[in-house]
C-alpha cells in the first residue's frame, strides 16, 4: 500500500481480555517500530523489528505485551489480560532501513473498559 | 540516555504572526533531531530533521529549526502562521547507536491559531 496501515482503527475491549493489533508496513521496508501514545503525552517506544527479529524490545512495559513479525512484513502487537491502563493509541512506523525516515500509521485507539 | 523537553504544552498565535515552539534535548552522543506534526485523526508527519549537516534546517510548509549545541536546543519557527498549522507538534531525538530509528518524543506542544 501507499502508507503504513493499522487495523483496527478503534478497539474497545473488556478488562482481562486478549487483543491483537495489526500493522502493515510500507512494502519493502525492513524496519518496523511500535509506539504507544497515552492521552496528552508523546509517543513512547515499545519494540523495534529489523526483518523478522525483534532487535530491541526494551520498551515493552511487561510480559503481557508481545509482538511478532513472522515473515518480515506484517506485524502484530499482542496484549494479554488487558488492563485499563493499557488504554492508549498504539502507533506503528516503518522505514526502508534503520537510518532513513520512519513513516507512521494513523494508529489503533485501544480502550479497555 | 536521551530525553526531550518541550517547554510549552500550549502555544496560541494569531494568523499571520510568527510561530516559536521551544525544544531542549539531552543526549550522550551527537543526536539526530526531528520535528513531527500530528493533525487530528491523522498520522505523525515529519516536518524536518537535523542530522549533523547544516545547523539551520528547512522543512515543509515554511517551518524551520536551528540546532544550537551550546544551548542544547532545537526550536521550531515559522514566520507567518496559517490556520492549517493548528496541530500537535513533537520534538524528537534519535541516537543511531541504539535501535536505529528508535525515537524519543517530547511531550508535545499544541499550537492554536486564531483568525
Do A98 and B107 count as a contact with CB atoms less than 8 A apart?
no
Is A55 within a domain? Answer: yes
Do A41 and B107 count as a contact with CB atoms less than 8 A apart?
yes
Domain boundaries, chain B: 3-114
Residue A68 has pLDDT above 80, yes or no: yes
Q: Which fold has domain B3-114?
A: Immunoglobulin-like (2.60.40)
CB proximity B83 to A under 8 Å: no
Range of the domain at A36: 5-108
pLDDT confidence tier of residue A55, bands split at 50, 70 and 90 = confident
CB proximity B70 to A under 8 Å: no
Residue A1 has pLDDT above 60, yes or no: no
pLDDT of residue B98: 57
| Rounded-to-integer distance, Cα B68 and Cα B25, Å | 10
C-alpha grid cell for residue A89? 493509541
Give the CATH number for residue A65.
2.60.40.10
Contact A20, A77 (CB under 8 A): yes
Residue pLDDT, tens place only, B12-40: 999 999 999 999 999 877 788 999 999 98
Domains contained in chain A, number: 1
Judge residue A82's burial from the number of C-beta atoms within 10 Å of its C-beta, 0-12 exposed, 13-18 middle, 19 or more buried: buried
Q: Who contacts B46 (Cβ-Cβ below 8 Å, separation ≥6)?
A: A101, B34, B35, B36, B59
| Rounded-to-integer distance, Cα A99 and Cα B71, Å | 26
Is A94 within a domain? Answer: yes
First to last CA, chain B: 41
| Rounded-to-integer distance, Cα B91 and Cα B16, Å | 23
| Rounded-to-integer distance, Cα A19 and Cα B60, Å | 37
Report chain A residues whose CB lies below 8 A from the CB of B106.
42
Amino acid at each position: 500500500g501507499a502508507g503504513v496501515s493499522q487495523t483496527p482503527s478503534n478497539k474497545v475491549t473488556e478488562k482481562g481480555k486478549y487483543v491483537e493489533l495489526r500493522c502493515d508496513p510500507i512494502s519493502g521496508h525492513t524496519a518496523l517500530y511500535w509506539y504507544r501514545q497515552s492521552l496528552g503525552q508523546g509517543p513512547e517506544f515499545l519494540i523495534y523489528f529489523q526483518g523478522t527479529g525483534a532487535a530491541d524490545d526494551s520498551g515493552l512495559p511487561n510480559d503481557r505485551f508481545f509482538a511478532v513479525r513472522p515473515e518480515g512484513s506484517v506485524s502484530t502487537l499482542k496484549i494479554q489480560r488487558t488492563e485499563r491502563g493499557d488504554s492508549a493509541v498504539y502507533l506503528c512506523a516503518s522505514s526502508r532501513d534503520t537510518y532513513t525516515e520512519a513513516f507512521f500509521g494513523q494508529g489503533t485507539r485501544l480502550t479497555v473498559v | 540516555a536521551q530525553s526531550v523537553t518541550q517547554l510549552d504544552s500550549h502555544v496560541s498565535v494569531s494568523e499571520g504572526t510568527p510561530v516559536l515552539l521551544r525544544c531542549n534535548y539531552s543526549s550522550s552522543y551527537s543526536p539526530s533531531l526531528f520535528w513531527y506534526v500530528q493533525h487530528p485523526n491523522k498520522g505523525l508527519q515529519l516536518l524536518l530533521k537535523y542530522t549533523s549537516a547544516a545547523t539551520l534546517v528547512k522543512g515543509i510548509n515554511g517551518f524551520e529549526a536551528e540546532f544550537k549545541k551550546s544551548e542544547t536546543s532545537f526550536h521550531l519557527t515559522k514566520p507567518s502562521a496559517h490556520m492549517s498549522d493548528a496541530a500537535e507538534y513533537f520534538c524528537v531525538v534519535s541516537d543511531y547507536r541504539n535501535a536505529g530509528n528508535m525515537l524519543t518524543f517530547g511531550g508535545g506542544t499544541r499550537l492554536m491559531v486564531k483568525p
